[in-house]
């Protein structure tokens, strides 16, 4: 049985393991087992492991638990760091907020230590619980695919090597290795949805619905998702272009596609343009698609959809970016890079902001670009105070260029990694 665990870790990282792999460790059984397995794997393959613990500061025991991980790492010669979170204001879903904060903190830690890949200790039980919770929300194929074994978020690769392992298997492994772990009391608190779902799984087991079975279903749905993503990618190559940071789709060709392909193209367009971590809600996308079919404009996730001639344009709304400014050397709105090829240009006092109505009024040749007026309003421009210096996408300002970070290929590539 334990050989299966080591094999799962090997499958996740070979043949090219990172020079240093980060491991997120809470002190619970799943993550401690993962750390021990990763330590053995890295030792065997001549690489290193570095552990990180996030203390959310929500329970008095949290400091002791973090220290127990630090002590474990010291005994095994593993580098370890503890990060602290104090950002919860008491509103919203605590577990969701803590999870988002954890990813952000660990991503920053990984970049600081030049770690490209971080391992997470999610198990088949976690996968089953996730599937049931998403089923309760009437999720589609993507939601029912569960947690991905590998994903990229905050420019860090996150790997879940133990998604095929059961929680009991990992605790048996720790007992066999004579390794202690700490059970988080919040895992018994029924006020949390995941805890209630865990209890519901016990009721379903007599019906043959167990964690391993549900995890297998999630894997099968993930394969279906891959097939849909591939078809969506092929369609996009034929009927989608990128112009001024907007996604432009041939309307007639879009309408003959199955509804699910249409939906996926729109969802990915929204995600790519807005930079939102999670896809737009199905209801919002359905409303946008309904408006599109009536020839009307629609909005979702800070983006707008409009029919222009025989094309569907999906682009950034003006309001979400109206107050965003950035130094010339930084990305604007998290995606735009503005450059000037003239080295003699005076860049002092310049910043990037939205073009807007006043800026567009100062661009006499904007109509010659062929880009719709609403699209140009939310594009980036170079300003010196209140003076417009350049608006490359509206045809104003010599030698200036505005490019989306990653270019058009980043949109097509995202369709496959969606």
If asked whether residues 57 and 166 sit together in one domain, one would say yes
Is the pTM of the predicted complex or chain greater than 0.75?
yes
Element (H, E) at 136: helix 124-136
Question: Is 28 within any annotated ligand binding site?
Answer: yes
Residue pLDDT, tens place only, 20-37? 999 999 999 999 999 999
d(CA 321, CA 334): 10
Nearest alpha carbon to residue 80 among 109, 45, 121, 57: 109
Question: Is 57 within any annotated ligand binding site?
Answer: no
**Pairing mode, if any, of strands 156-159 and 79-84?**
unpaired
Nearest alpha carbon to residue 157 among 103, 105, 78: 103
Residue pLDDT, tens place only, 141-166? 999 999 999 998 888 999 999 999 99
Looking at residue 396, what DSSP letter applies?
B
Residue pLDDT, tens place only, 95-129? 777 888 899 999 999 999 999 999 999 999 999 99
The CATH number assigned to the domain holding 87 equals 3.40.50.620
**201, 218, 235 - which closes a domain:** 218
Question: Is 310 within any annotated ligand binding site?
Answer: no
d(CA 65, CA 151): 28
Residue pLDDT, tens place only, 227-269? 999 999 999 999 999 999 999 999 999 999 999 999 999 999 9
Question: Is 40 within any annotated ligand binding site?
Answer: no
If asked whether residues 30 and 116 sit together in one domain, one would say yes
Six token digits for residue 267: 């969802």
If asked whether residues 346 and 365 sit together in one domain, one would say yes
Cα three-residue angle 303-312-371, rounded to 5 degrees: 80
Q: Please count the structural domains in the chain.
A: 3
If asked whether residues 100 and 124 sit together in one domain, one would say yes
Structural domain including 372 reads: 322-404
If asked whether residues 312 and 326 sit together in one domain, one would say no
If asked whether residues 274 and 138 sit together in one domain, one would say no
d(CA 32, CA 49): 13
If asked whether residues 294 and 353 sit together in one domain, one would say no
3-state secondary structure 344-390: CCCCCCEEEEECHHHHHHCCCCHHHHCCCHHHHHCCEEEEECCEEEE
Is residue 310 within 8 A of residue 364, CB to CB? The reply is: no
If asked whether residues 183 and 255 sit together in one domain, one would say no
If asked whether residues 327 and 276 sit together in one domain, one would say no
If asked whether residues 170 and 300 sit together in one domain, one would say no
């Amino acid at each position: 049985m334990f050989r299966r665990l080591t094999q799962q870790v090997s499958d996740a990282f070979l043949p090219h393991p990172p020079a240093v792999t980060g491991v997120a460790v809470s002190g619970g059984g799943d993550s401690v087992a993962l750390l021990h397995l990763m330590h053995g794997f890295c030792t065997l393959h001549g690489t290193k492991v570095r552990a990180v613990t996030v203390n959310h500061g929500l329970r008095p025991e949290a400091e002791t638990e973090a220290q127990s991980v630090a002590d474990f790492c010291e005994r095994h010669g593993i580098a370890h760091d503890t990060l602290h979170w104090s950002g919860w204001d008491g509103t919203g879903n605590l577990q969701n907020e803590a999870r988002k904060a954890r990813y952000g903190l660990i991503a920053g830690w990984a970049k600081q230590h030049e770690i490209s890949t971080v391992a997470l200790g999610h198990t088949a039980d976690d996968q089953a619980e996730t599937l049931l919770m998403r089923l309760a929300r009437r999720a589609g194929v993507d939601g029912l695919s569960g947690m991905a074994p590998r994903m990229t978020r905050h420019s860090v690769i996150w790997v879940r090597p133990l998604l095929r392992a059961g929680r009991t298997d990992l605790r048996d492994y720790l007992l066999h290795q004579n390794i202690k772990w700490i059970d988080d009391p919040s895992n018994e608190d029924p006020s949390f949805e995941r805890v209630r779902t865990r209890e519901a799984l016990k009721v379903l087991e007599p019906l043959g619905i167990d964690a391993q079975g549900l995890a297998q279903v999630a894997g099968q749905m993930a394969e279906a998702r891959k097939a849909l993503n591939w078809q969506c990618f092929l369609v996009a190559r034929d009927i989608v272009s990128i112009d001024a940071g907007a996604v432009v789709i041939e309307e007639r060709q879009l309408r003959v596609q199955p509804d699910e392909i249409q939906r996926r193209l729109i969802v990915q367009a929204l995600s790519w343009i807005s930079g939102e971590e999670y896809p737009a809600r199905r209801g919002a996308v359905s409303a946008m698609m309904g408006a599109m079919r009536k020839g009307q404009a629609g909005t979702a996730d800070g983006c707008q959809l409009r029919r222009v001639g025989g094309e569907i344009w999906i682009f950034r709304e003006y309001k979400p970016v109206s107050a965003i400014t950035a130094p010339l050397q930084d990305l604007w709105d998290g995606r735009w890079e503005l450059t000037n090829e003239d080295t003699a240009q005076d860049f002092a006092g310049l910043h990037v902001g939205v073009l807007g109505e006043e800026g567009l009024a100062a661009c006499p040749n904007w109509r010659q670009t062929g880009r719709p007026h609403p699209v140009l309003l939310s594009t980036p421009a170079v300003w010196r105070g209140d003076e417009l210096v350049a608006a490359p996408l509206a045809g104003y300002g010599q030698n200036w260029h505005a490019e989306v970070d990653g270019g058009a290929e980043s949109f097509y590539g995202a369709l496959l990694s969606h």
